[in-house]
Amino acid sequence: MVDEISGIILAFFIITYLLISTGKVNRTAMSLLGLGVAGAILWAANQSTFVNVINDIEWHTILFLTSIQIIVVVAASSGMFQYISIELVKPTHGDIKRLFITLMAFVFTISLIFDTTSTMIVMVPVTVELCKALDLDFRPFLISEAIICNFASIPSVIGSIPNIVIATEAVLDSSLMFVTLMPITVLLFAITIPILLKYYRDTLVLSDEYIVEEIMMVDSSFMIRSKNDFYASLVALTVLVIGITVGLGLGLRTSFVAIILASILLIFCRERVDDILNRVNWASILFLVGLFGLVAALGVTGIIQEFSLGVQALVNLSEILGVTFMTWIPAILSGVIDTVPVSALLAPVAASLVSSPIFAITLVYAVNIGGFLFPLGAPGNIIIIAYSIKEGKPIRLLDFLKIATPLGIIMLGLGNAWLLIMSAFI
């Protein structure tokens, strides 16, 4: 009976994500329905109660993501990111290649602090408006930002939802993760920028120098809509980074630090609280609730434990095989399905490999690179495609694939080699 129920839950999990990947059903509605049906199956089979499944949902991740989105919304509404974008443009003096490098470096930096979805929600409108002002095609910029956003988040525990899920499940040391993955991430950035510049060399050309002169005259301080929100957000982001870094050493959860900062910001916003909360992406948050519930149901049936034993046998056979497996397979799955369900499904597997944290760290690397192997692998990619359609200059899937997939394969090869070297020291 247990095997039959396990098979039913697994089949339903696969069907749910196949339907979501087609884009023909709302992913939030489908994941919540999946949670409900999985709970009903377990209840009918007398294996578990719905309450037990709900209790196994990773609520720390849900709270953390909600808090981060609140902080980002407040910062964005203050005009902080528009102010920064103008300040970034001025030193380039109209040199489009310098502007491109500057924007990509900015995306790289903020991706260490914000999750990838929040980063792209912030950067896409700013980039599009900037390109419009300079009479540039925004599509090369958006595709490049999506690629960099995905891999730049790799070293940071809070850089993406998969990172949060894996680090929480495997109890990863944030300092160890950063020290292990930051060097390879910087190397990836150094390799990627010249490739992107060469690939887009024909489009990164300024058509009218007078436009630049007009932008240079813009006072960036006019971009700040609320000085109170601006400075409050700046303080909150600084405290967030410090609090998470120090807090993990003290045994404080990232969700604890983030929820306190988000709630304090909301108190400062006073009468605008409802407006700010309305701008939080509740659909993504509820999608995660349903997703984590489905994964919890798989955990109840013992499927994840069985898969963990299989991977453990592979690791026992050869650590090289284990690291290589955890580099390529999750990356390919993430590109085809989505980074979030893959990380949620495989995080318990990585956590079970207690012989070394290298496997959890490898999984972090793999799912983030996998996020841009294919266009629908990560929310950030979907955001740029949707926004380009809205602006009347759609990014074709082939346009994305032609540059992103080869880069992703190169990065997986480099990452595999780096992680094998690091496995000797961790």
DSSP 26-38: -HHHHHHHHHHHH
Distances (CA, A) of 88 to 27, 82, 84, 107, 126: 36, 10, 6, 12, 12
Instruction: Indicate if the pLDDT at residue 393 is higher than 80.
Output: yes
The pTM score is 0.79
According to the model, what pLDDT value does residue 363 have?
Answer: 95
Predicted confidence (pLDDT) per residue in 285-335, tens digit: 888 888 888 888 888 888 777 777 777 787 778 888 889 999 999 999 888
CA angle 277, 71, 184 (to 5 degrees): 135
Instruction: Please return the burial class of 252, using the count of CB atoms within 10 Å of its CB with bins 0-12, 13-18 and 19+.
Output: middle
Q: Are the CB atoms for 360 and 370 separated by under 8 Å? A: no
Q: How far apart are CA 15 and CA 8, in angstroms?
A: 10
Lookup result for tokens 């306190």? 260
According to the model, what pLDDT value does residue 356 have?
Answer: 83
Instruction: Indicate if the pLDDT at residue 28 is higher than 90.
Output: no
Which range of residues forms the domain containing residue 74?
Answer: 57-424
According to the model, what pLDDT value does residue 212 have?
Answer: 62
Would you call 204 helix, strand, or coil by DSSP?
coil
According to the model, what pLDDT value does residue 179 have?
Answer: 95
Average pLDDT over residues 372-383: 84
Q: How far apart are CA 323 and CA 105, in angstroms?
A: 30
Smallest CA-to-CA distance from 121 within 77, 157, 166 is with 77
Q: Is residue 42, in this structure, part of any structural domain at all?
A: no
Non-local CB neighbours of 166 within 8 Å, separated by 6+ positions: 172, 343, 346, 347, 350, 360, 363, 364, 367
Q: Is residue 75, in this structure, part of any structural domain at all?
A: yes
According to the model, what pLDDT value does residue 1 have?
Answer: 45
Average pLDDT, the chain: 85
Q: Is residue 36, in this structure, part of any structural domain at all?
A: no
Q: Is residue 90, in this structure, part of any structural domain at all?
A: yes
Predicted confidence (pLDDT) per residue in 135-179, tens digit: 889 999 999 999 999 999 999 988 888 998 898 888 888 889 999
According to the model, what pLDDT value does residue 386 have?
Answer: 78
**What 8-state DSSP symbol labels residue 223?**
G
Average pLDDT over residues 186-198: 97
Average pLDDT over residues 390-398: 86
**Is residue 209 very low, low, confident or very high in pLDDT (cuts 50, 70, 90)?**
low
Average pLDDT over residues 392-419: 94
Most confident of 33-42, 187-196, 238-247: 187-196
Q: Is residue 218, in this structure, part of any structural domain at all?
A: yes
Phi/psi for 207 (5° steps) reads -95, -25
Average pLDDT over residues 376-395: 84
Smallest CA-to-CA distance from 345 within 168, 166, 171, 173 is with 166
Diameter over CA atoms, the chain: 74
Would you call 369 helix, strand, or coil by DSSP?
helix
Q: Is residue 11, in this structure, part of any structural domain at all?
A: no
**Is residue 249 very low, low, confident or very high in pLDDT (cuts 50, 70, 90)?**
low
Task: Count Cα atoms within 13 angstroms, Cβ side, for 126.
Answer: 25
The pLDDT > 90 percentage for the chain reads 29
Instruction: Indicate if the pLDDT at residue 211 is higher than 70.
Output: no
Q: Is residue 79, in this structure, part of any structural domain at all?
A: yes
Q: Is residue 35, in this structure, part of any structural domain at all?
A: no
Smallest CA-to-CA distance from 173 within 111, 253, 249 is with 249
**Amino acid letter, 332:** I
Q: How far apart are CA 61 and CA 158, in angstroms?
A: 10
Smallest CA-to-CA distance from 229 within 119, 82, 104, 112 is with 82
What total of structural domains would you count in the chain?
1
